Copies of this chain bind each other. A is one copy, B any other.
Amino acid sequence: MRKKFARDFDSLSAIYEFTEGVLAAHDLGEAVRFPVHLAMEELFTNMVKYNHDSDGEIEVDVAVDAGVVTVTLTEHDVDEFDVTRPREIDTSASLGERTPGGLGLHLLQNIVDNLDYEYRDRRSRVIFTKESG
């Protein structure tokens, strides 16, 4: 269930359809599909935005076992950035105090069940899980 996608926002629809296929094959409903798609998008778009010098593709793996979805995103030749570090976000800030951005990792950390980060030989790997039901 591993597939490589070009480092481009335009890959998002292909990633969505591919993931839909895997999740549909396991009869998983919207309650788990929504957060899985959201977590993947937040991680993938950050890889595109912040490591754009690296021109390799991003590898996506979606596995389902006993109702638990495990998604792994891997990219090569990038600097270390630990997505599991807590974000300091003031979600009660007023409209005037807010600036767009900075919410992706906060959302990610709120919606997945487990989040891991591995870094070795300039290879970055993010693994998250989401349980259905």
Please classify the interface of chain A as helix (H, G, I), strand (E, B), loop, or mixed, using the class held by over half of its residues. helix
Task: Tell me the bound Cα distance from A123 to B13 in angstroms.
Answer: 29
Find chain B residues with CB under 8 A from A93 CB: none
| CB within 8 Å of B: which A1-52 residues | 1-3, 13-26
The number of times this chain is found in the oligomer is 2
Question: Size of chain A's interface in residues, with CB distance under 8 A?
Answer: 19
A62 touches B (CB below 8 Å): yes
Known: A18-B21, A20-B21. 15 other contacts (CB 8 A): A2-B24, A3-B20, A3-B24, A13-B17, A14-B14, A15-B17, A16-B17, A17-B21, A18-B24, A21-B21, A21-B22, A21-B62, A22-B22, A22-B25, A25-B25
